[in-house]
Each structure stands twice: as C-alpha cells, then as structure tokens.
Structure 1
C-alpha cells in the first residue's frame, strides 16, 4: 500500500474526531462484561476462601484460594498480554473467559483442597489478560479527551459485581457444603455467557494499523463513522496521525525509549497490590480481627463493597480533568489516612462507614492507574507492557497479602496499616518522580 493511500485511510485520526455514540457504549458494555465477572472473583476470592475454611475447617484454605488465583493471573497476564499484541485484542477475548468459566465451574465440584486450588489457578490464567487487554482495548477505541472516562465507565459497571458477590456469599453461607461452591458456579456460568456475547466485538483499528492492516482498520472505522454521521451529521476534518507501523518485540519494553516507564510501572504494580489488596482481599479478615462475627462480617463486607461503585461513579467525572499521575498519588494517601482511622475505631457503625470510604477511595486509585498504565506504552507493545507490569501485581499480591496476613495482622490492625503506609510512600515517590503526564493527550503523543 502506498504512503498516500495510508494517509487517506488515517484510521487513528478518524477515531480521534468521533463523538461519543451508542456504538462506543455498546463496545464498552461488551468489554465490561468480562471485567464484571473477573472483578467478582477478584473481590470475592477472600470471602470464598473464608467460607471454604469454615466448611472444611482447613486453615490452609484462605492461602490456597487467594494465592492460587493470583499466581494464575500472573501467568495469564503475561501470556494473554503478549498474545494481544501479536494476535489482536479480539483474539484474546475468544479464549480467556471460556477458560475461566469452565475452570471455575469444575473447581466448584472438587472436594480436595489441592484440586480446588489447581482449578482456581487455571481460572486465574483464564482471566489474567482481562485487565491489561481491557485497558488497552478501551483506551485505543476512545478519543483522547474521553479516554479516562471510557476506562472509568468500564470499571464503574464492572464493580457492580462487588455487592453481588458479597450478597451471594452472604446468603450462600447458610448452605453449608455448597456455601463456597455456589459463587464459583455463578461466576463460571456468567463468564461463559459474556464470552459468547463478546464474539461480536470489532478489532482495534489502532492495533490493525500497527500491523499494517490498513484496509481492515478502514472498514471498522467507516462503520463507526457512518453511525456517528447518521446521528450528528457531517464529521469535522480528521487530524493526520501516523500509526507508527512496526513489528512488536517484547524486548522493546526495556529499550532506551521505554525502559524508564517499564521500570516505573513494575515498581508501582509490585507495591500497589499491597495497598489495594491489603485491604480488599483481607477485608473479611480485618473485620473478624475486630471481633465481629462471621455473619456480620459478610453483611458488613457487602455494605463496604458498595463504596467501590460510588467511588467509581465519582471518578468518571474527574478522571479526565485532573492529572492521572497525581490522582494516583493523592488517592493512595487518602486511602491510607482513612484506613488508619478504620483500624483505630471500635464502633461497628464507624468501622462500616470508614470501610466504605476506603473502598470509595481505592476504586478511584484503581481507575486512575488502569488508564495510566496502558496509555504510557505505544500500541505495538501496549498490551504486552500492561500484561507484564500487571502480572507483577498478581505475583506480589500472592506474596504481600500472605505477608500481611501472617506477620502483621496478628499484631493488630495498626501494624497492618503501618506496612501499607510504607507501600504508599514507595508508590507516591515512584509515580511522582518518574511518571509522565498523560491526561487529555492522544495516545500517539504520549508514546513519543
């Protein structure tokens, strides 16, 4: 294809000038479906582990479930993140949720703790690529001025699964033998339904152009343009944006141009998991440590998890208006302050209110960094970069949550949040010193 023909197609520039339409909404909803299921397992694995431990009287149950899932996600993040750059964003979505769904259903039929952990590990591999690929996919389909809002909308809808899994676990707790199996079966079935629906997704034109597939990219963008023009009339002139067509090499993440960003995000992802999952995965354990009964713990967890939804809705309105790097730092600090107060109070009412506020703040933190971690990498290695750095958070979660639970939680909640403050300090300095500014810029501008 001639250079003149390529510039005439200019899919990226044409995507950037599109207004937000129903096609964007439909795309985000299909993307969100997988996130909804994975978020359910991400936030619910601690509760499932607690129910399993109660049913089996095995102290190892909590560690077996949470560690195997996060280790599975570590493998899946690298595997599917790389496959997404080599084979396409849509390609990954044809497999990942199917693996998660089948493995989760099988895990629910197992009786041996090692068999349960093995299939939960496989389910983790299945959805390991969801976060990095969803972040990359969403960012590439949204214009720069709305990119953060699009990603935040995905996670706002996805986090509605938090009270669902808390509610489901609360009521399934009365079913004894089936208490922890019911949530797994529900998640597995939901994943398979979403997998079937997502086969309708279009491939990312940005990814197609990065692979030199200009005609395929053109057909998809034309479809989106035709829909927009029917609704809003003639579109403005598209800016000419070079796709930067080139081959994708994993080692480029450590090249001179990208090395600093990759290292920055590796450090960030290792320690942010201690901040986020130090509270989320251990929320039931933190409540139990306050002397609250298991039944009330599950009920309070259900209320606290609604903070994720409210926080994410709030974030939609601010994510494209303030610098994302400073949004990450500020939300981490606020979560630390609220978490420390949470550790100090004795009142059940104040515990629930502060737990809600910590969840509210942490989901703002999450939306900021999910958008940030993909927009700092160029399209050709965007998903590989996100998958690599995200895999570190999966791995570190399995280590740090265990570390907190084993060595700090027995010494009280203040000790627990004391170590979390150390993670906050590292994350703040890392992003503050090394992080580039990205808010409102086109992806191709950021990657230069």
Structure 2
C-alpha cells in the first residue's frame, strides 16, 4: 500500500465511551430520554385504536366521508403498509445518518400524516395521510429502540425498553377514552368529532418534539461512524449534566476500552452477511420471538370485539368498556415485570412470560369451548393472559434491538418488525375467518390452542438459544462491525470485513 493510500485510511480509535455510558446512575437525564423517546408507542397505540373506533362513524354521510365498511378495512391495511415501508427506509437511514436526526424526522412525518388525516375530504386523501402517518411510526420503531438501548445504562436497559414498548397500551387506552367523548354525537357533531380525534396524537407529538431537541445523538453511534471526537464531547456533556444533578461519577476501568475504526456506511451485503451468516441462531431467535408474539396479539386484538358480540351478545357500543381493562392489563405487565428481565435474566423471564401466556390462553380455550365463560370472565382471562404476553412481546423488541452490532441495529429492528407485521396480518385475517357465523365454537377454540402453542414455542426457543444479555454492555453482547477485534478475526479468514 502506498504512503498516500495509507494516510487516507481511517485510524483505529481506542475509547471508553460505551463503558462511561454504562456506568452512569439513573438521573433526570435518563428520565428525559424515556419521556422524550418513549412516546412513540403511545402514539402508535393511539392511532390504531382511533381507527378502530372511528370505523363505524366515517361510514355515515354526516361524517363528511360516508365510505363503505369494506373501505374502512383499507385504512388499517394502508397504515400497516406505511409502517413496513417506514421501518425499512428509516431503519437503514438511522444506521447511516444517526439516531437523533431520524427520531426528529420520523416524529415530524407522523405529525404531518396524522394531523392531515383529520382534514381528509375523501377516501383517497384519508388513505394517503394514513400511509404517511404509518411511515412515521414505522421509522420511529427503528430509530427509537436503537437510541434507547444506546443511551440507557446496561443495568437498566431491559426494564426501560420493555416498559417503553408496553406503553403502546397507554395510547390504546387514551384512544378509547378519547373516543367515548369525541365520537359521541351528543357531545360533538359527527362531522367534527372524528377529525378532532386525529389531532390528539399531533398535539402530544408537538410537546414531545420540544423535549427531543434536548436529547443528544448516541455517542456509541458517533464513535463507530468515524465521529470519535464528537462522541467524546457528547459523553462529556452528559457527564456534566449528571454531575450537575449532584452525582459523583466513579472512574472507569481502562480495561473496558474498545478499539474501532469508524465507518460511515456499512453495505447492505455486509449487513445481511452478519445477520444471517455470522449470527444465524440470533436471527432465528429474533424471528421466532417476533412472529409468535405478533401472531397471538393480532389474533386476539382484531377478533375480540367480534367474539364479545357474536358469542356473548355484547352490544357493539359496549365493547370499548371491555377493552379498557384489557388495555390496562397489557400496560401493567411490562411496567411491573420489566425489572425482572434485568435481575432474573432475559432467558428465564422470556420463557416465563411466553409460557404463562400460553397456559392461560389454553385454559381459556377449554372453558370457552365448554360454554363456561361469560363476557366478563372471558375478558378477565384475556387480561391475565396478556399481562404476561405484553411483557413477553416487549422483550421480543428488546431482544432484536440488543443482540446485533450497533452499526446495523436499526436495520435489524426494521427487518424483524416487518416480519412481525406480516405474521400479525395473517393472524388477524385467520381468526376473524374462524369466527365465521358463530355457529360453532370449535374452529376458534382450535385457533386459540394454535396461538398458545406458538407462544410456548417462542418461549422455548428463547430458553435454548437465547442470549444472557442482562446487565451486559451492548459491545459485549455483539462486537461492533467496526471494532478492530472483529476486523482482525475476519481478515484471518481471508475476507474484507466491509467488502462491497
């Protein structure tokens, strides 16, 4: 290699940035991160529940749209497609351009899409704006999970990530409660009620985007992408903020330093090779956990209203009252069980939550088939089942966000998120078809057993090939692609670690 070429090669940097971030105690700085970034799942839950609630309203001519019932179904499909597109596009961009740029951009896209949905004048404008909102939320999943994992200290990462993912149900609950007021024509004219409902998310988002302006870029991302000096300044600023809150920081062991050669862009071929050739067991783990939890969730979520109506004679206007305790159970699971994923461990808690959800669902299936349940007891069993399933589902997002190298974290999250969405779409269509004309409980009972078996499978896979990631640094769980240790190992095999 010539002297000129050698001079242009990026130099290895030895850094304590990850260790300095992981040794931080919990402070108001971390609370700001959780509040500023965690709102994404609240917004998604709010969006999905609003569409579920306004579906019957916008079919009326008085709503200003008057679309058909079949066309209402397109709204959920288009939003789902938007999420998939957004996750794939912005997942790639968050790994290339940084977490901060993308969690500002994706929130802005959501605000525009959701806000304009309230101003829709026909079906096609409504579908277009729902697609835009879906893209924003899909991009949020990739950018936000990446940023939270990289900014939160290792000993708190599991509980924070799980609790934040679980707040989806706080948004769903907010959507239900808001719908009770805004969609009641005795309170607000039908033409305006559903439109105002779609402004709830943007109003919340405008508040949060102000908080996000004060959240720094991930110093881990900066370090691995050739911005080592900026990473040092970011960590120094964070440490000054923490010390300004009366905290004395301990020194960091020099032995915890990592050495990287910054790389601004990792080719897609390298991303695919690392995910599926270097970490095939982790790919199977992430795919199985995401597919099984999404299948169960969508199977129950999109059929529960029909089950209550067709098998328990619950009036459609009363269904939201049964949804409220269901949402509360889903919210409490991650909040109350999250810390155990950091203390008892990932594999043990994943098997426990997935397994208990499977057992409760199987028991409910037996009782449902025997006609031994009422609408209330059926809802109680669902609440218990999803108290555990919600924590398990959140741990699936945590798993795929922490078991792959930092440089492809956003893309890994996006990939498995899209697989989960596809699984959920299949489940929703399958279980509504199993209900049929409600002449027999047999087909749906079989469906419940299948859902329980899949959840048990997800838990067992995590137990046997899962990663003991609790309290570990992200760099210990998976070497950065740009680390000199990984590059040396790859060169020893005769390959270019960043070959195009």
1:45-77 residue CA offsets vs partner (Å, 9 max, x unmatched): 433445546775733145312222112111111
How far does the alpha carbon of each residue in 1:324-382 deviate from its partner, in whole angstroms, 9 at most, with x for none?
23433332232233334455153233133223223322221122122111110111111
> What is the SS of the residue equivalent to 2:182?
helix
What do residues 74-122 of structure 1 show as CA deviations (whole Å, max 9, x unaligned)?
1111111111100000111121122112212222233533442332122
The one of 409, 413, 421 equivalent to 1:394 is: 421
Q: Does 1:288 align with 2:288?
A: no
The one-character-per-residue Cα deviations of 1:10-29 (angstroms, maximum 9, x if unpaired) are 21111121111111111111
How do 1:293-312 residues align onto structure 2 when only pairs under 5 Å count? 293-312=315-334
The answer to whether the aligner puts 1:270 opposite 2:291 as a matched pair is yes
2:139 counterpart residue number: 129
For 1:45 and 1:252, the matched residues in 2 are separated by: 39
Q: Match for residue 87 of structure 2?
A: 77
Within the candidate set 9, 16, 20, 1:14 is matched to 20
Instruction: Give the counterpart of 1:232 among 244, 247, 251.
Output: 247
Which residue is 2:159 aligned to? 149
Deviating more after overlay: 190-199 vs 133-142: 190-199
Deviates more, 1:367-376 or 1:409-418: 409-418
* Alignment partners' CA distance in 2, 1:353 and 1:179: 31
Counterpart in 2 of 1:314? 336
- The whole-number CA distance in structure 1 between the counterparts of 2:156 and 2:410 is 20
CA contact under 8 A between 2:302 and 2:432: conserved in structure 1?
A: no
Query: Is 2:60 aligned against 1:39?
Result: no
2:182 is aligned, of 169, 172, 177, to 172
Alpha-carbon distance between aligned partners in 1 of 2:180 and 2:18, rounded to the nearest angstrom: 47
Q: TM-score, normalised by structure 2?
A: 0.81
Specify the alignment match of 2:73 in structure 1.
63
> What's the Cα RMSD here?
2.8
Structure 2 residue 407 is the aligned partner of structure 1 residue 380: yes
Give the equivalent residue in structure 1 for 2:495: none
Give the counterpart of 2:387 among 352, 355, 360: 360
Number of aligned residue pairs: 447
Q: Relative to 1, partners in 2 of residues 1:316 and 1:436: Cα closer, same or farther, differing over 3 Å?
A: closer
Structure of greater relative contact order (alpha carbons < 8 Å, 6+ residues apart) = 1
Cα distance, 1:337–1:263 mapped onto 2, change above 3 Å: closer
- Alignment partner, residue 241 of structure 1: 257
Q: Is the 8 A contact 1:166 1:305 kept in 2?
A: no
Residue 234 (structure 2) aligns with = 220
Distance, in Å, in 2 between the alignment partners of 1:334 and 1:47 is 30
User: Which of residues 253, 262, 269 in structure 2 aligns to 1:251?
Assistant: 269
1:259 is displaced (CA, Å) by: 3.4
The answer to whether the Cα contact below 8 Å between 1:45 and 1:65 also exists between their aligned partners in 2 is yes
Unaligned runs of 5+ residues in structure 1 are none
Q: Is the 8 A contact 1:206 1:243 kept in 2?
A: no
In structure 1, distance between residues paired with 2:357 and 2:194: 30
Give the TM-score taking structure 1 as reference length: 0.90
The residue number in structure 1 matching 2:482 is none
Mapped contact 1:6–1:214 kept (Cα < 8 A): yes
Give the distance between the partners of 1:265 and 1:100, measured in 2 at CA.
27
| Counterpart residue number, 1:334 | 356
Give 1:438's aligned residue: 469
Q: 1:118 to 1:227 in 2, by over 3 A?
A: closer
8 A Cα contact 1:16 1:238, kept in partner: no
* Match for residue 24 of structure 1 among 18, 30, 36: 30
Is the Cα–Cα contact under 8 Å of residues 59 and 69 in structure 2 kept in the other structure? Answer: yes
Bigger radius of gyration: 2
Q: Which has the higher helix share?
A: 1
Contact 1:408 1:416 in 2 (8 A): no
Contact between 1:39 and 1:161, CA under 8 Å: does it hold in 2? yes
